[in-house]
């Protein structure tokens, strides 16, 4: 009986070679995806592969955004207030109750960009007509009686309000960060980041 010679099928070996390469690539991607990353506390990491766009707004545009946001946010709330950016100050305009009377106030702040991309509003002055109300009293009233977004923090002791853009961006597909705040020029630059592959 004649022995049949074993023939090697080149397509068969090419298939197994390709399959091996695919498995190696998948394994490498899985390893990198599941490997632990060092992320600083209270701040999400955005790599250089993320897509970022710098947006510069003027005073009018910031006020339009503020009005639109508060109109929707306070739509079903009886207590209304406004946040207006002027030539020198950012101002919260609202009403408070003092000695049984309803008093309108204008609380002025100087905005300051923080290193983490948030904005700190430092109290500069308070206008309440002829009354001399303490700033801490008005801030405490705002904190207790006003409906505030969960990314806005009032600290009546330090007389500040923090606009936490990191928290605002937490459950959104875009991340917002303040880059520059120029009250004199009326220019406000923000960085909008689209994380690679989504959040």
Tell whether 53 is covered by a domain.
Answer: no
Q: How far is it, in rounded angstroms, from Cα 17 to Cα 60?
A: 62
Tell me if 141 is assigned to some domain: yes
- Under the banding of pLDDT at 50, 70 and 90, the label for residue 97 is confident
Q: Per the structure, how many domains does the chain have?
A: 1
* 86 within domain boundaries: yes
Residue 19 falls inside a structural domain: no
pLDDT in tens, 104-162: 889 999 999 999 999 999 999 888 766 677 899 899 999 999 999 999 999 999 999 99
Q: With bands split at pLDDT 50, 70 and 90, how would you rate the model's confidence at 33?
A: very low
**Domain range holding 143?**
59-164
Residues 190, 167, 76, 156, CA torsion sign = negative
Q: Is pLDDT at 45 greater than 80 in this prediction?
A: no
Residue 26 within any structural domain of the chain: no
Q: Is residue 136 part of a domain?
A: yes
Is the residue at 95 inside a domain? Answer: yes
Is 42 a residue whose pLDDT tops 70? Answer: no
CB 134 within 8 Å of CB 142:
no
Residue 137 lies in a domain: yes
């Amino acid at each position: 009986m004649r022995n049949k010679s074993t023939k090697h099928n080149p397509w068969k070996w090419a298939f197994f070679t390709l399959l091996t390469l695919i498995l190696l690539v998948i394994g490498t991607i899985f390893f990198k995806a599941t490997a632990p990353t060092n992320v600083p506390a209270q701040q999400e990491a955005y790599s250089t592969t993320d897509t970022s766009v710098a947006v510069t707004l003027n005073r009018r545009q910031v006020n339009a955004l503020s009005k639109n946001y508060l109109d929707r946010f306070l739509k079903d709330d009886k207590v209304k207030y406004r946040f207006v950016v002027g030539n020198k100050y950012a101002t919260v305009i609202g009403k408070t109750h003092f000695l049984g009377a309803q008093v309108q106030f204008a609380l002025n702040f100087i905005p300051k960009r923080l290193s983490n991309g948030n904005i700190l509003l430092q109290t500069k002055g308070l206008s309440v007509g002829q009354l001399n109300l303490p700033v801490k009293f008005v801030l405490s009233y705002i904190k207790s009686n006003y409906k505030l977004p969960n990314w806005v923090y009032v600290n009546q002791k330090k007389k500040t309000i923090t606009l936490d853009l990191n928290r605002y961006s937490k459950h959104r597909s875009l991340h917002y960060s303040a880059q520059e705040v120029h009250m004199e020029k009326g220019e406000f630059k923000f960085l909008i980041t689209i994380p690679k592959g989504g959040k």
